[in-house]
A and B are shown apart, each in its own frame.
Chain A
Amino acid sequence: MNQEFLRPRLVGRRFDEHTLPLDILKDFSALEEMLIEVAKRQYLAAHPERQRTPKGFTKGLELHLTAVEEGSAIPVIALAFATLFPSADADYFDQAKDQIVEAIAAAEQGQQPTLPPELLRYFDRFGRGLHEGEAMEFSRSNGQTASLTPATRERLLRASQAESWTEEATLKGRIPEVDQADHGFELELCNGIKLKAPLLEAHRKTVLDAHYSYRAGMLVSIKGVIQRDRADRPKCFELVEHVTPLDPLDIETRLEELAQLQDGWLDGKGLAPDRASLIRLAQTFDERFSTDLPLPYLYPTPEGGVQAEWTLGSWEISLEITLPNLAADYQAVHTATGDTREQTLLLAAEDGSGWTALNDALAQLQEAKA
């Protein structure tokens, strides 16, 4: 039989359509393991004369997802019993649930959670699938709500005294080393940090191709689970899910590289571009730049801006972008005739007119090249 057990409310853009991404189910699987361990502790606390829980304490007990309700998305999770009637031990699972929810509430309020550190380490996997801006809300017995967010989870893990913990991440970089005998490789991030990663058969060809093209600067994007230490430094990949080759001119990656520049980068001169403006520029490039056109080469300017350049046949083209206002000067010069075309573009215009004008101007030159 089934008995309704938990109705957490999942908040965030991914849950707006009242559906659950399958990815988040891994978190509830980890919650099930955590509940069992906490319930065992509850049982032993109630029976101090016992050394261990009775045989079959958790036998036939499982969490089942029975429905997903609206608001943003509310998974209805039931405690499923193999028997016709609820087990007498089910009360310990209710107590365990309350303990876990109170631990989340304590962390949210900046207090020390009451669960012991070894049980708090289950938050390494429970809550890992939440992205920034997302939350799992649980009802407390006093009617209030406890909210598990990436920030609350980090506080719980710091309270667990763990030296490191894991998180889902997508990182970009180059592959300087592959150890086929040891089934591993290294990803070199743009800030020079190298992370070891397991080499799976499914990724072998992509990883080897990227390694052979390391000196040519070939970039890959790796999605997986990384270990991060208490100082917030990435240590290694624990799990690799996807390895994707990137265009050598990938906009986001190049702008991340430019974000590493410091004031004085140009032989003592040169202002560093503003990081937030670079992120905004990467987003608008992604949304507005025509996918039919070749990607530009991107360079920093000494004034703290970005210069995009293209060579289309005999046309040399530049777009000097001022940050943070995204005002841009476009200039195209025909190297044989000296013919020159210039215009000022406002790439921040809400109607996208600046990007439309850029796309049209480049498309014309591309056609002329053909």
Chain B
Amino acid sequence: MTPDTLLLRQIHPSFIQDGRVTSQAFRPTPKDEFLLSVDDGDRVTAEASWQRFIANPACKSVGVQALSHTECTAQALTVIEDGNPHPEHCSVDFTAFDKKAIEKKSKLLRAQAETRGWLFREAMA
């Protein structure tokens, strides 16, 4: 993984309105134990990452946006290459921060992801 590595994040259909993605998509939910699930963009394409995600009938995604490794580091967020539940899986670690700090970081990550744009969208499949 390099500073330019993109970390791929699936976007749930309820987390988009009129083309805009919520900052909630870039922070872990309380049940995620403060770890945000992403895929290593150097090892899997956005489309393949999406295909694998939606192959699980319980999971929904309208497409893939991304945060870079550098952007995470700038927010003092560590990226863990845990390889679980699949080899390309990584976790962005928010455990050191409280709720308000997490919300602030997610806003900054959202803005950067929006500038980067979609890496893959469902309609393209």
Query: A interface vs B, CB < 8 Å?
Result: 217, 248-249, 254, 258, 261, 265-270, 297-303, 307, 309, 311, 316, 318, 320, 331, 333, 335, 338, 340, 342
Q: Inter-chain contact count A-B, CB under 8 Å?
A: 67
CB distance from B71 to the nearest CB of A (A): 12
CB distance from A95 to the nearest CB of B (A): 59
Contacting residues, chain B, for A340 (C-beta < 8 A): 104
Interface of chain B: mostly helix, strand, loop or mixed: helix
B108 touches A302 (CB 8 A): no
- Measured in the bound complex, the distance between the Cα atoms of B3 and A303 in whole Å is 34
28 contacts between A and B (CB under 8 A): A217-B18, A249-B17, A265-B14, A266-B14, A267-B12, A267-B58, A269-B31, A270-B29, A299-B15, A299-B24, A300-B14, A301-B24, A302-B31, A309-B23, A311-B20, A316-B23, A316-B107, A316-B108, A318-B103, A320-B103, A331-B103, A331-B104, A333-B104, A333-B107, A333-B108, A335-B111, A338-B104, A338-B108
Contacting residues, chain B, for A269 (C-beta < 8 A): 29, 31
CB distance from B115 to the nearest CB of A (A): 10
> Which 9 pairs show the lowest CB-CB distances between chains A and B?
A316-B107, A299-B22, A302-B29, A248-B18, A333-B107, A335-B111, A267-B59, A297-B17, A268-B58
Residues 30-79 (chain B) with a chain A CB within 8 angstroms: 30-31, 58-60
Query: B interface vs A, CB < 8 Å?
Result: 12, 14-15, 17-18, 20, 22-24, 29-31, 58-60, 100, 103-104, 107-108, 110-111
B100 touches A331 (CB 8 A): yes
Closest to B107 in A: A316
Contacting residues, chain A, for B18 (C-beta < 8 A): 217, 248-249, 297
- Measured in the bound complex, the distance between the Cα atoms of B106 and A340 in whole Å is 13
CB distance from A13 to the nearest CB of B (A): 33
CB distance from A247 to the nearest CB of B (A): 10
Known contacts A249-B17, A299-B14, A331-B100; decide if A266 and B111 are in contact (CB<8 Å).
Answer: no
Known contacts A266-B29, A268-B58, A269-B31; decide if A307 and B22 are in contact (CB<8 Å).
Answer: yes
Contacting residues, chain B, for A301 (C-beta < 8 A): 24
Known contacts A261-B14, A297-B22, A342-B100; decide if A316 and B110 are in contact (CB<8 Å).
Answer: yes
The winner among B17, B20, B29, B111 for most chain A CB atoms within 10 A is B17
